[in-house]
Chain A
Amino acid sequence: MKTAEKSQLMSATEIDRTLQRLAHEIVEKSGGADDLILVGIRRRGVPLAQRLAGVIRGFSGRNVPVGSLDITLYRDDLSTIAPQPVVHASEIPFGVDGKVLILIDDVLYTGRTIRAAMNGLFDLGRPRRIQLCVLIDRGHRELPIEATFVGRNVQTSDREIIEVRVNEIDKEERVMLVERVD
């Protein structure tokens, strides 16, 4: 698939500022950081979750547990994404029962990833509440799923793709709007 960059949606500074705001919102709306746990969806949700936990530690002094969730086994489109699926381990080395669990992903689009992620979480236990935090909400939902915490809403066409690039994975830090070129 060929793509062409159209514009930059967020710089490194804007990403950082957005995460600061989201971290405050999460703690505020959850009535403190006590029962809070953060679970990032592989791959780019994971570094975002770690950074949010860092921000929360900075202003509240609380260490919020961070896990990572691989949704491969829960996808509904496994047979169309790749000739050879590859599964990765989820790392959630703490109990989720009774916790306020914040699910973190980079982009919210059809909602199918979140549906898959919630199925994966239910196999681990019964959180008291699950809320969703995304850096970008680009619309085009195919399921009745909405995020509680949104970094930025972006209007997109379905030919466009949002690429969140983070230092930990992409060696650069910005959010790009790109378009498919056929």
Chain B
Amino acid sequence: MPLGFHDLLGIQPLTAAQIEFILDQSKPFQKFNAQPLKKLATLRGRTVVLAFFEASTRTRVSFATAAARLGADAMNLQAEASSLRKGESLLDTVATLDAMKPDLFVMRHSSAGAPQMVADYLEIPVINAGDGCHEHPTQGLLDALTIRDRKGRLDLNVTILGDILHSRVARSNINLLTKFGARITLCGPAMWLPKEMEQLGPNIRREPDLARALEDADVVLVLRVQKERQHEPPLPMEDYILHYQLTPARLKLARPDAIVLHPGPMNRGLEIDPEVADGPQSVVLEQVTNGLAVRMALLFLMLGGAAAVDAPAILSDAAHG
């Protein structure tokens, strides 16, 4: 089946079939990444812009590595060092980068909707690598791949723990998992548990009590406490640790075979006990490995075909080489 989209701006507009196609296409890249030699020429001559208008380490490195392994070149823009500091507008910066004729635009921005605006402006495909509190679709996909690999399915009991309000990771995960029949429990301090989140899909409930929220959980997704995003009166960290830190004792309340995900970077000792982070139920490093496979699959699918170069589609299975 075809990918069926030009830009990847969020999980919300995708169908379950499109998501499954991307997850299935990530499997060969998982295998490829385990090979001794990890360099392809598949996307040789293509250029991918990595425009991060907001700090990022793992997502940027992951996209850069994905592009490199496929043979594409990456054009890096980091906000700290860019003209944005000198007052250039976002679209002027985008237009400047676009004038160098890249083939795909990956961007992160602190404002929700910024990638949509850029996608409306550009002809080349855009991948949202995180926009404000809106979505982080590649994180949602890599989490789903990790869960599916471990559990074989996605219609599970999933508890999302932490600052739901400010989390694009939570939104992308909720949007994705509810399409597959997952039952979602949102847990955290009341001020981070907006009622509107229940409207994102079916079978979503809020539960401020961690013990009750962990009951029967197959998957626990721990969110990072985003100190940089707290505009409200800050929550005393001691209180958060006391009530919401995922400790080995609390994890025992979930199903014995529950897995623990964290999008990183982790605040060890804050939202997660180091013993859980490094424990047998943690799949944190698998998430990183899978993130690379998912991003390679997306670059391949969005850039690899005839559609990407406007060549005539000559589909000839019989044209043996």
Contact = CB atoms under 8 A, between A and B. Distances in A.
Interface of A: 1, 3, 70, 73-75, 78-90, 105-114, 116, 119, 122-125, 138, 161-163, 178
B301 A107 contact: no
A7 B29 CA distance: 41
Given A70-B28, A73-B70, A161-B320, 11 more contacts: A1-B316, A1-B318, A74-B42, A78-B304, A79-B311, A80-B311, A81-B306, A84-B2, A89-B31, A112-B321, A123-B36
Contact of B321 (A87, A90, A109): A109
Contacts of A113: 320-321
Given A1-B316, A81-B315, A82-B315, A74 B40 contact: yes
Interface in B146-198: none
Max chain A C-beta neighbours (<10 A), residue from B28, B70, B313: B28
Contacts of B38: 123
Interface residues of B, number: 36
B305 A79 contact: yes
Nearest to B318: A161
B100 interface: no
A82 B305 contact: yes
Given A85-B305, A87-B25, A80 B314 contact: yes
B37 interface: yes
Nearest to A78: B304
Contacts of B305: 78-79, 82-85
A128 B58 CA distance: 39
B240 interface: no
Contact of B301 (A3, A75, A80, A85): A85
Nearest to A125: B36
Nearest to A111: B321
Given A82-B305, A110-B321, A122-B37, A73 B315 contact: no
- 4 A-B pairs with least C-beta separation: A113-B321, A107-B320, A83-B307, A112-B321
A124 B35 contact: yes
B314 A81 contact: yes
B61 to A, nearest CB: 22
Nearest to B21: A86
A178 B321 CA distance: 16
Nearest to A87: B28
Contacts of B39: 123
Max chain B C-beta neighbours (<10 A), residue from A73, A80, A106, A163: A73
A79 B314 contact: no
A86 B25 contact: yes
A124 B38 CA distance: 9
B318 A80 contact: no
A109 B320 contact: yes
Contact of B300 (A74, A82, A85, A119): A85
Nearest to B39: A123
A83 B300 contact: no
Contact of A90 (B28, B36, B42): B28
Interface string B217-243: 000000000000000000000000000
Contact of B307 (A70, A84, A122): A84
Contacts of A78: 42, 304-305
B86 to A, nearest CB: 38
Nearest to B314: A80
B311 A89 contact: no
B161 to A, nearest CB: 34
A167 B229 CA distance: 60
A137 B315 CA distance: 22
Contacts of A124: 35-37
Contacts of A88: 28
9 contacts: A1-B314, A73-B32, A74-B40, A74-B41, A78-B305, A87-B29, A89-B28, A108-B320, A123-B39
Interface in B250-280: none
B3 A84 contact: yes
B99 interface: no
Interface in B2-36: 2-3, 25, 27-29, 31-32, 35-36
A84 B301 contact: yes
Contacts of B318: 1, 3, 161, 163, 178
B249 interface: no
B117 interface: no
B81 interface: no
A73 B40 contact: yes
